[in-house]
Structure 1
Amino acid sequence: LHQSLGAGAVEMIVVDDGSTDGTGEELDRLARRHPQLLRVLHQDNSGGPSGPRNTALGLARGRYVFFLDADDYLGVRALERLTAAAEEWDSDVVLGRMKDVGRRVPRSMFRTNQPDADLFASRVYWSLSAQKLFRRELVERLGLRFDTALRVGEDQPFTATAYLRARRISVVADYDCYYLVRRPDGRHLTLVNRTRPTLDALERVCSLLRAELPRGAGRDLLLSRHFEVELAGAFRFLAAEREALVREREFARMRRLVTGHRDDGFW
């Protein structure tokens, strides 16, 4: 409602994924007040963000799509700045600077505006969350959807594929576009899951990179990002696992993953 882009320029599709806290009723009230802006769908809880995002993607009609998680919010000029950048620079993906509200946000890719960010020379690949502006034509041409089998990290294969196939990736670094909010109870899905779902996502995105890119320095660079970040995170989750059989099983998965990449050059 407060976006500076103006009335009629934004279509907001909200998928109520089986909420139990009165969110559904509040959304319906807002939709009655703002029928030209807000469309609400209700569905049974799916256990993760992939299903609701896919539902919304199937209904979206705009030139661009942007994913906003329920806990977070946008800067007032966010959509205006992001779409203006996409139009001016003919971008397929635009990253907007993120602002922390109690949660850690990526920073290295937001040091300066980048009309044409090179995937291998810039730091954009270190930001793989879905909270970006995507040209919908790219999404539909590639048939991009979120993997509902992934409990966490579902945005990584989606965003990585968009990066790899985009004609141009751009960065808006001079405005706080996305505010990443920490829940009062701290129970974000990405913070409470364990080793197995983290490894599920890691295996999926590593397979994607090996399929999309030839062996060499570029592929090594992107793979190294996942081994430095997600594999390290998986080890931290592993240390917290209480069941010995679970630890042994997931450590065996880690060993197979590392062994499978022993001939890559990023070690």
Structure 2
Amino acid sequence: MFNGQGPQIMGILNVTPDSFSDGGRYCSLTAALNQAENMIAEGADLIDVGGESTRPGSSPVPAEEQIRRVIPVITALRTLHPNISISIDTTLSTVADAAILAGARIINDVSAGLGDARMLEFAAASRTPIILMHAQGTPQTMQDNPYYADVVVEVKSTLQLRVTAALSAGVKPENILLDPGIGFGKRRQDNIDLLAHLAQFVALGFPVLLGTSRKRFMGNLLKLTDPGELVTATAVTTALGVMAGVQMFRVHDVKANRQAADVAWAIKQAQ
């Protein structure tokens, strides 16, 4: 998956009516494919297709509805861009199964396999890489007074437990990626602390994905309420992530983050 050529940019394609930043914008197949084309042209290495919002307070979407939303997009993308990597953003193994059959190649599971007892077994049986993300609680409850005594230690510990579970289910080590889950059941300072210690997650020995794109903690820090105003702030975290050894970045705004990642990578290589 990683060829040593530098950080990878994962473009976010939410085919949902209620995602926090772009809900409802890409629900039609034409709109979704146009957005994917734009992100690929701007330098995306992967397209992450999701049919369920995981914003704070969001409700679960049944597997059948997720499949209805994502499969036409994945099928068309695979036909139009046979060489682009596609990930499926879901916590349900039935959705992942349908997406893999349609042409997705990576599972992006914000529950790290806890949302569906069959997910890790499916990833193992299908030999599909899986991103294990840390979240405290569920989207409905995760921002209801989250608390950590030491957020870095606790998130690392939880991710290590999920790695153990994945390995026990038969997932190969080379098919595991980790995501500290910025904004998922974390206070503003928790997110900042995680960003300050990204190298500790890289040191766990698995590729790390960072997802800060347009997240509310940066808006709170900068006193901005429009997520669309956080493009520069997101790019800063991407550059910092590259310097810490993070290998993949999940973003809405591909061009700015592609530039940030590539410049930071050149500097890191010079070190």
User: TM-score, with normalisation over the residues of structure 2?
Assistant: 0.29
